[in-house]
């Protein structure tokens, strides 16, 4: 009996139960979770409904994170780290909005969050029948992928009717077991209203990242604007604040230990139903390489900008993102090793295999799925894994100019073909969008750093063993008259691709025209293109085949363990709930679910990342807490933890209390449970949230921005 429960734990709860904190649930599944018995005090249809306006209509996807409307004039609350890139793009050495923060006291002073747009879901509809009907009788994985793409394009085109205000996509769930159409209103004019200084918004920095206890004021206010006729147009001085159909009301009551809470947001990707083969690959190949790569790139960026304030601002967002990813990967490795996660997968699959083999029909259908998947990994990934890892660096962390040249070159290759024969993402509409957004590819560009990244990538390529070489780069290494450093110096001197406006003019040119430019980065792109295509095709074949196998594996798990599976997160809106609760990270240690203003002051060291602003210390010393003091804590609450089940992409998600009122913003998970993308651990996994009362306290008392509270309807 003990073995059964330790095994089933790996697969989580496969039935709808009274403990719904596990799972990032589809909105159309929450009616089966019996939320009212758990503590929800409003009707489930007030959370999500297809027939009326509900709370979900206040939730938006925002630059890889989540935000929510908190006023009738399109005011948005999200995390500071979600708005960070917007601050970085607007900052200069004279206006360092990252360090000093930003506050617009008038709407005319609000600054554009360059490159940001909000996606508001307006329709969610199951289209599985349309997709599966088109797939009947098709067993070839590549052909299936092609049919799914074409049918999805047909469905999304019908849903948007070429309305530029709308975007739609067909989301694949359960590895192809279900298909749901999501239609979004796109709001392209997002402006920054208020962001606290870094010493509040990122208090604790990377030291405290993914850690509890936490004392970070991780919040930023933004505002959505639309054209006067309500369309989601790009920034224009004549645009007006968006009027949401519903916005979140701020909670007046303070949270207590054990209170019911819930979250709606846009979690990125989880892999909870993956096999031991996938775990093994990530644990021993993918994660270690990424950790080492990110660590080296961060060190390089810091070294090349240490004497340049402008350079530090330029690479700040990139460093922050890499550091966050690196710590998450390291936490995943540590968590997998600590819990013997791979062996648990092996044990589970041994039981699965025994179940499959007990029945001849099941054995024929499912008996060799795991072996076929492992063979697929070996066929597509093992032989060239060293080359492919280094080649991947050139696509993003090996030079902005080379990445841009490669992208423009690939577009030239595609536009030479009829649109019907092009790869997904290379239709005329998409290419136009790429051209309009090209400047954001240069948001982190600083020449000294970019050159150092190129040199590093080339040296890594030069060290690859025989059989793993990147053939398109051999012309550089074979030239004995210049070093790699000299090649890079010459490339940066002669290329004009450091200018985004120049790059824009090259979109749509033919390969012949691009090669005639005699630009060193286009020469590199051209030489590397055949291998780029080889890797692309191989990756697509791997993805098509492994996804098809995983579809059967999930069907088998469903047949074996019963109904009630929540799908892995995939960037679509999800619901999770759970009570406020602390946890025990180690023997004889108990973490309370609340941190307070006193904890902020206690951590102060007058130096980054624990540098509390002097004005905030004065407020504490005067005990000028106003109405933001929690009587039970006798202090201002800063952050809290709950059972809710989230992952990357949930950053900025509103946390709501039992009444559906805004009580906080989710911003992190805890280090002890960083394998949460792979499994949910009710004893350890917690979501870390900034308390709405600390958000309002900082807004009013520290920044003297009480007008924002007035706009949100927060009474004095």
14 has a pLDDT exceeding 70: no
Angle at 449 between CA 445 and CA 451, to 5 degrees: 100
Q: How far apart are CA 31 and CA 25, in angstroms?
A: 10
Strands 654-657 and 260-265: antiparallel
Q: How far apart are CA 185 and CA 571, in angstroms?
A: 16
Helix (H) or strand (E) holding 530: helix 520-561
**pLDDT band at residue 716 under the 50/70/90 scheme:** low
pLDDT in tens, 47-68: 999 999 999 999 999 999 999 9
Closest CA to 272 of 191, 202, 155, 173: 173
Looking at residue 426, what is its pLDDT?
84
Reduce the DSSP state of residue 689 to 3 states and report it. strand
Looking at residue 236, what is its pLDDT?
96
Looking at residue 169, what is its pLDDT?
96
Domains of the chain: 2-117+188-262+565-711 (2.40.10.120), 276-556 (no CATH)
Give me 169's structure tokens.
């996509």
Residue with tokens 């805890």: 670
Lowest mean pLDDT among 224-238, 283-297, 553-567: 553-567
**pLDDT band at residue 563 under the 50/70/90 scheme:** low
561 has a pLDDT exceeding 90: no
- Global pTM? 0.94
State whether the Cα torsion 322-326-327-329 is positive or negative.
Answer: positive
pLDDT in tens, 595-612: 999 999 999 999 999 999
3-state helix, strand, coil in the chain (%, to 5): 50, 15, 35
> Averaged over 689-702, what is the pLDDT?
98
The total of other beta-carbon atoms located within 10 Å of residue 533's CB is 12
CB 610 within 8 A of CB 186: no
544 has a pLDDT exceeding 60: yes
Q: How far apart are CA 88 and CA 581, in angstroms?
A: 35
Residue with tokens 């990530």: 282
* Rounded (10°) angle between helices 400-415 and 428-436: 160
**pLDDT band at residue 249 under the 50/70/90 scheme:** very high
The values of phi and psi at residue 655, to 5°, are -100, 125
Q: How far apart are CA 268 and CA 366, in angstroms?
A: 29
SS (H, E, C) 596-655: EHHHHHHHCCCECCECCCHHHHHHHHHCCCHHHCECCCCECEEEEEECCCCCCCCCCCEE
7 has a pLDDT exceeding 60: no
Reduce the DSSP state of residue 172 to 3 states and report it. strand
Residue with tokens 């407020």: 619
| CA distances from residue 323 to 145, 457, 698 in whole angstroms, order as listed | 35, 19, 27
Helix and strand numbers (H, E) in the chain are 28, 20
CB 268 within 8 A of CB 572: no
pLDDT in tens, 102-130: 999 999 999 999 999 999 999 999 999 99
- Reading phi first (left if > 0) and then psi (alpha if -120 to 50, else beta), residue 204 is in left
* Rounded (10°) angle between helices 385-394 and 400-415: 100
Q: What's the Rg (C-alpha) of the chain?
A: 26
Reduce the DSSP state of residue 704 to 3 states and report it. coil
Give me 49's structure tokens.
């409904």
Closest CA to 127 of 162, 165, 159: 159
pLDDT in tens, 263-290: 999 999 999 999 999 999 999 999 999 9
**pLDDT band at residue 702 under the 50/70/90 scheme:** very high
Looking at residue 6, what is its pLDDT?
29
> Averaged over 349-369, what is the pLDDT?
97
**pLDDT band at residue 164 under the 50/70/90 scheme:** confident
* Rounded (10°) angle between helices 287-305 and 309-338: 160
The total of other beta-carbon atoms located within 10 Å of residue 315's CB is 27
- Alpha helices of 306-377 — where are they, by DSSP H? 309-338, 341-357, 360-366, 369-377
Contacts of 605 (CB under 8 A, 6+ apart): 611
Residue with tokens 């085109």: 157
């Amino acid at each position: 009996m003990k073995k059964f429960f330790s095994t089933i734990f790996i697969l989580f709860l496969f039935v709808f139960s009274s403990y719904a904190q596990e799972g990032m649930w589809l909105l159309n599944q929450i009616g089966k979770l019996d939320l009212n018995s758990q503590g929800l005090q409003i009707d489930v249809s007030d959370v999500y409904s297809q027939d009326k306006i509900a709370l979900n209509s206040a939730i938006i996807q925002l630059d890889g994170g989540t935000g929510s409307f908190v006023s009738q004039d399109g005011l948005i609350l999200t995390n500071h780290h979600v708005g960070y890139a917007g601050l970085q793009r607007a900052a200069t050495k004279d206006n360092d909005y990252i360090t000093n923060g930003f506050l617009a006291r008038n709407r005319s002073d609000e600054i554009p969050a360059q490159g940001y747009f909000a996606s508001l879901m307006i329709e969610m509809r199951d289209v599985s029948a349309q997709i599966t009907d088109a797939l009947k009788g098709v067993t070839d994985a590549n052909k299936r992928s092609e049919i799914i793409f074409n049918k999805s394009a047909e469905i999304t085109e019908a849903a948007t009717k070429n309305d530029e205000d709308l975007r739609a996509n067909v989301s694949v769930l359960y590895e192809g077991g279900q298909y749901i159409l999501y239609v979004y209103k796109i709001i392209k004019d997002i402006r920054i209203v208020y962001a606290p200084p870094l010493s509040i918004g990122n208090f604790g920095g990377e030291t405290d990242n993914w850690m509890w206890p936490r004392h970070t004021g991780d919040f930023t206010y933004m505002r959505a604007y639309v054209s006067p006729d309500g369309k989601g147009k790009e920034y224009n001085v004549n645009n007006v604040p968006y009027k949401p159909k519903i916005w979140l009301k701020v909670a007046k009551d303070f949270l207590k230990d054990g209170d019911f809470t819930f979250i709606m947001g846009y979690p990125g990707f989880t892999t909870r139903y993956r096999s031991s083969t996938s775990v093994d690959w990530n644990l021993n190949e993918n994660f270690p390489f990424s950790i080492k790569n990110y660590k080296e790139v961060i060190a390089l960026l810091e070294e090349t900008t240490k004497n340049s304030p402008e350079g530090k601002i330029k690479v700040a967002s990139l460093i922050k993102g890499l550091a966050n990813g690196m710590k998450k990967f390291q936490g995943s490795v540590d968590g997998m090793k600590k819990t013997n996660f791979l062996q648990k997968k092996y044990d589970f699959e041994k039981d699965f295999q025994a179940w499959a083999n007990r029945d001849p029909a099941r054995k024929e259908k499912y008996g060799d799925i795991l072996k076929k998947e492992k063979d697929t990994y070996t066929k597509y990934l093992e032989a060239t894994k060293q080359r492919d890892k280094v080649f991947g660096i050139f696509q993003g962390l090996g030079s902005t100019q080379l990445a841009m040249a490669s992208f423009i070159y690939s577009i030239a290759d595609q536009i030479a073909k009829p649109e019907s024969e092009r790869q997904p993402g290379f239709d005329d509409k998409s290419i136009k969008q790429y051209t309009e957004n090209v400047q954001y590819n240069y948001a982190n560009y600083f020449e000294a750093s970019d050159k150092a990244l190129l040199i590093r990538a080339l040296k890594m390529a030069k060290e690859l063993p025989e059989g793993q070489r990147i053939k398109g780069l051999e012309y550089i290494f074979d030239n004995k008259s210049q070093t790699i450093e000299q090649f890079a110096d010459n490339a940066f001197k002669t290329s004009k691709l450091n200018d985004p406006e120049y790059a824009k003019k090259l979109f749509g040119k033919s390969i012949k025209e691009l090669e005639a430019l005699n630009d060193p980065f286009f020469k590199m792109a051209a030489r590397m293109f055949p291998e780029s295509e080889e890797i692309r095709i191989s990756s697509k074949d791997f993805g098509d085949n492994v996804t098809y196998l995983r579809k059967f594996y999930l069907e088998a798990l469903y047949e074996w363990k019963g109904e009630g599976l929540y799908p892995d997160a995939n960037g679509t809106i999800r619901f999770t709930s759970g009570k406020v609760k602390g946890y025990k990270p180690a023997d004889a240690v108990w973490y309370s679910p609340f941190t307070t203003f006193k904890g902020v002051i206690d951590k102060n060291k007058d130096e980054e990342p624990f540098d509390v602003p002097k004005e905030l210390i004065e407020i504490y010393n005067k005990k000028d807490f106003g109405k933001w003091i929690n009587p039970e804590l006798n202090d201002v609450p800063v952050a809290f933890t709950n059972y809710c089940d989230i992952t990357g992409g949930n950053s900025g998600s509103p946390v709501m209390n039992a009444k559906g009122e805004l009580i906080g913003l989710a911003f992190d998970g805890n280090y002890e449970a960083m394998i949460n993308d792979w499994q949910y651990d009710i004893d350890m996994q917690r979501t870390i949230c900034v308390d709405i009362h600390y958000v309002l306290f900082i807004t009013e008392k520290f920044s003297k921005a009480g007008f924002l509270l007035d706009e949100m309807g927060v009474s004095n």
